[in-house]
Amino acid sequence: MNDYVTAARGWIGTPYLHQASARGAGTDCLGLIRGIWREVLGAEPVAVPAYTRDWSEAGGQEALWQAALTHLEGKALTAAAPGDVLLFRMRDRGVAKHLGVQGEVGASPSFIHAYSGHAVVESALTPPWARRIVARFAFPVKE
């Protein structure tokens, strides 16, 4: 099994908590990616500044996408692999601001994400979810 998927599944059940990144205590979708990074790769590459729930929306800046391009490796949308970081645009003409980790590929694809108002869950990557994916990334290669 992929180290990133194993780490992500270890967060399942962690309550959703905006701006948090503590397995078992609380996390949001960015906090989940940060926590997986720490568990598999070590220290985070940068400190994440405070952000609001509606960050980036007023100006339309793709801040999360730009940060992902800086710290992760971009992939083709069709090159699905377990452990990929998925970036979702949840509303037409809105900024992309939801993240998840590909759990399974193939006939029954899934992804692990911190679901607002719930917890970290593994969800089926159904067509309604899949059509919201705007970018796919790989974590850096472990040294």
| Res. 128: pLDDT tops 60 | yes
Residue 55 · residue 123 · CB < 8 Å: no
143 part of a folded domain:
no
Range of the structural domain that residue 114 is part of: 3-138
| Res. 39: pLDDT tops 80 | yes
Query: Burial level of 68, CB count in 10 A (0-12/13-18/19+)?
Result: buried
Number of domains in the chain: 1
CATH of the domain at 78: 3.90.1720.10
Return the bridge partners of 100, or none.
86
13 part of a folded domain:
yes
Summarised one tens digit per residue, pLDDT across range 85-99 is 999 998 888 888 899
47 part of a folded domain:
yes
pLDDT > 90 in the chain, percent: 74
35 part of a folded domain:
yes
55 part of a folded domain:
yes
